[in-house]
Amino acid sequence: MKENLEQQQKDFQQQQALEQQALQERMSSITHKILILSGKGGVGKSTVAANLAVTLARDGKRVGLLDVDIHGPSIPKLMGIMGQVPQMGEKTITPVKAGERLWVMSMGSLLQHQDLAVIWRGPLKMGAIKQFLKDVEWGDLDFLIIDSPPGTGDEPLSVAQLIPDMDGAILVTSPQDLSVLDVRKTVTFCRQLNMPVLGVVENMSGLVCPHCGQGIDVFKRGGGERMAQEMGLPFLGQIPIDPQVVEASDAGVSFLAEHPDSPTATAFEKAVRTLLAGLDGAGKRRGSSGKPSAKADRPAAAGGKQGKAGSGEAAADPPAAKNLKIAVPTAEGKLTAHFGHCRQFAIVELAGGRIKQTRMVEPPPHEPGVLPEWLQGQGVNLIIAGGMGRRAQDLFVEKGIEVLIGAPSLSPEELVGQYLQGALQTGDNICDH
C-alpha cells in the first residue's frame, strides 16, 4: 500500500512537471503577456481589453485575446464571434480567428448555449485557465491580452501564478470615487504579487453631447488619473463614453473599424502608444536578458525615471517616491511583525526620491480603526509591514495609504533604501485574518 501511494505521488509530480514545461514552452512564443484588471465591475473592462487588442492588431502586431472570465464571458459577443467554436485536437485547441492578426479564446466559445451557467469552484477554474494557456495553439504572438473578471479572486490569481514572468497588468476604472476605491485595492494585489502595473485607463470619462457638442461629466472626470498620480502609476489615458461603442458591442462589430476617426478611437490609439513606450522602457531597464529583477521593472510615474535594482543607488525619481512619507512598525530598531501592537513607528520622509529624515513616533492606544486615521494625519502615503489583517489593509486603502506586506525584519532605513532601489523582497503575509 505504501509503495503504491509513493508511486502515485511520484507519477503526479512527474505529470505536473511535464505540464509546467509545456506551459513554459507555449508562453515562450509570446513576447508580451498583459493582464487586464479592475477591482470594480461595470467599468467597461472587457470593452477596454477588446479594443486594446484590436488597436494593437491594427498596428501590425500579432495578438491573442484570452478571456478568463469563466462565469461571465463577454469577449465573444464583443468580438463578433458568437457561435464560432475553437477546433479541438487530441491535445491542442485552435483559437477562433477574429480578424487579421487577432485570435480569441473564451469559455463563452465552448458553451453549447449562451444561457448556460458555468458553476465551478476555484480548482476547476484554475484547471481551465491552465488549459487555455498550455493547450491553445497561440503560435508566435507579439501580445497576449488576458481579460479577467472584476476583483482579485481565483482567475487573476491563477493567471499570475501560471505566468510568473508576465509583463504586468493594466487597471481599468471609471472616474467616480466608488470605482477608484476598489481599483486601489487592485494595486495592492499587484504589488503583493510583484506584478508590475503597466498603467491605468480611466474609462467612461466624460460624454460629448451629440446634440450640442458640449462635454458632460456623467461619472465625474479625472478620478483614475489622480489615483495614478498619487500611487505613482503610469496613466494611459481617458476613454470617453460613446454610444457608438455600445451599438458596435451589441452588434458584434469592431467599433474601431466602423469609427476609426472618432475621439474614442483616438483615445485607444494614444493609450496603446503610451503602453508601447512604457514596455520599451521596461525592456531597456531589464537589460539584454529580458528578465526583470525583483520589482526592478515597476513602471515609474509619467515623466519619471526608474532606478536600477541592485545598483546601490537610490532612484532619481522612483515610483511615487518624490515626497513620500513611509511608516514602518518597529521594535528594537527593526521592523516588527506585530503591526497593530507596535510601540513605535518610524516615519521616513523622502524628498526628491532620497531619505530626508526619520522620526520615531508613538502611536495612540490600539483600537479598531484608529491607526489608519492617525497615520493619515501624519501624512503617511505608504506602509511597509511584515503582516496585516485584510480588514486593516482595506481601511488604509480607504485613507489613500498604500500597504506593502511581507517585508523582512530590517531597519526602516534599510527597508526604504531597498524600496527606492526597486530591490525590496516581500514574502507571505503572516497576518491574514
Q: Is 354 exposed, middle or buried (0-12, 13-18, 19+ CB in 10 A)?
A: middle
Element (H, E) at 255: helix 255-258
- Determine the pLDDT at residue 209: 66
The reply to whether 280 and 357 lie within a common domain is: no
C-alpha cell, 387: 503582516
Tell me whether residue 402 is in a domain.
yes
Give the Cα separation of 233 and 127 in Å (integer). 32
Give the Cα separation of 305 and 265 in Å (integer). 29
C-alpha cell, 187: 494595486
Tell me whether residue 426 is in a domain.
no
CATH number at residue 160: 3.40.50.300
CATH number at residue 355: 3.30.420.130
- Determine the pLDDT at residue 253: 80
Give the Cα separation of 21 and 171 in Å (integer). 30
Question: For residue range 21-41, what is the model confidence (pLDDT) as tens digits?
Answer: 889 999 999 999 999 999 888
The reply to whether 231 and 343 lie within a common domain is: no
Q: Of 67-81, 204-218, 220-234, which range is least confident?
A: 204-218
The reply to whether 277 and 341 lie within a common domain is: no
Total structural domains in the chain? 2
Question: What value does the mean pLDDT take over residues 379-404?
Answer: 86
Average pLDDT, the chain: 82
Give the Cα separation of 350 and 355 in Å (integer). 5
The reply to whether 385 and 242 lie within a common domain is: no
The reply to whether 224 and 371 lie within a common domain is: no
The reply to whether 332 and 260 lie within a common domain is: no
Tell me whether residue 362 is in a domain.
yes
Q: Please answer whether residues 51 and 187 qualify as being in contact, where contact means their C-beta atoms are separated by less than 8 angstroms.
A: no
Give the Cα separation of 67 and 65 in Å (integer). 7
Q: Please say which residue of 286, 312, 343 terminates a domain.
A: 286
The reply to whether 154 and 32 lie within a common domain is: yes
Tell me whether residue 106 is in a domain.
yes
Read off φ and ψ for residue 315, nearest 5 degrees: -65, 145
Element (H, E) at 105: strand 102-106
Residue 72 has pLDDT above 50, yes or no: yes
Q: Please say which residue of 286, 310, 343 terminates a domain.
A: 286
Residue 284 has pLDDT above 60, yes or no: no
Between 38 and 219, the higher pLDDT residue:
38
**CA-to-CA dists, residue 271 to 53, 149, 303, 398, angstroms:** 12, 21, 15, 28
The reply to whether 352 and 280 lie within a common domain is: no
Q: Please answer whether residues 68 and 74 qualify as being in contact, where contact means their C-beta atoms are separated by less than 8 angstroms.
A: no
The most confident of 85-99, 350-364, 367-381, by mean pLDDT: 85-99
Tell me whether residue 343 is in a domain.
yes
Between 261 and 148, the higher pLDDT residue:
148
Question: What value does the mean pLDDT take over residues 199-221?
Answer: 75
Measured over the CA atoms of residue 376, residue 382, residue 388 and residue 392, the dihedral's sign is positive
- Determine the pLDDT at residue 307: 32
- Determine the pLDDT at residue 333: 87
Tell me whether residue 20 is in a domain.
no
Give the Cα separation of 172 and 156 in Å (integer). 14
The reply to whether 208 and 259 lie within a common domain is: yes
The reply to whether 249 and 351 lie within a common domain is: no
Residue 382 has pLDDT above 70, yes or no: yes
The reply to whether 158 and 233 lie within a common domain is: yes
Residue 404 DSSP class: E
Number of Cα atoms under 13 Å in the Cβ half of residue 145:
28
In which domain, by residue range, is 83 found?
Answer: 25-286
Give the Cα separation of 328 and 413 in Å (integer). 10
Q: Please answer whether residues 65 and 50 qualify as being in contact, where contact means their C-beta atoms are separated by less than 8 angstroms.
A: yes
Q: Please answer whether residues 136 and 93 qualify as being in contact, where contact means their C-beta atoms are separated by less than 8 angstroms.
A: yes
Collapsing DSSP to helix, strand or coil, 348 comes out as strand
Read off φ and ψ for residue 279, nearest 5 degrees: -65, -40
- Determine what percent of the chain falls in helix, strand and coil, rounding each to the nearest 5: 35, 20, 40
Residue 207 has pLDDT above 70, yes or no: yes
Give the Cα separation of 238 and 17 in Å (integer). 43
**CA-to-CA dists, residue 312 to 171, 181, 201, 285, 309, angstroms:** 31, 35, 33, 15, 8
Residue 215 has pLDDT above 70, yes or no: no
- Determine the pLDDT at residue 213: 57
Backbone dihedral region for residue 6 (phi beyond 0: left; psi -120 to 50: alpha; all else: beta): alpha
Where does the pLDDT of residue 405 fall: very low under 50, low under 70, confident under 90, or very high at 90 and above?
confident
Where does the pLDDT of residue 319 fall: very low under 50, low under 70, confident under 90, or very high at 90 and above?
very low
Give the Cα separation of 145 and 373 in Å (integer). 39
Between 196 and 4, the higher pLDDT residue:
196
Tell me whether residue 292 is in a domain.
no
The reply to whether 141 and 268 lie within a common domain is: yes
Q: Of 85-89, 100-104, 210-214, which range is least confident?
A: 210-214
Q: Please answer whether residues 160 and 195 qualify as being in contact, where contact means their C-beta atoms are separated by less than 8 angstroms.
A: yes
Share of the chain above pLDDT 90, in %: 34
- Say if pTM beats, i.e. exceeds, 0.75: no
- Determine the pLDDT at residue 306: 31
Residue 299 has pLDDT above 90, yes or no: no
Tell me whether residue 352 is in a domain.
yes
- Determine the pLDDT at residue 264: 86
For strands 93-94 and 87-88, give the pairing. Answer: antiparallel
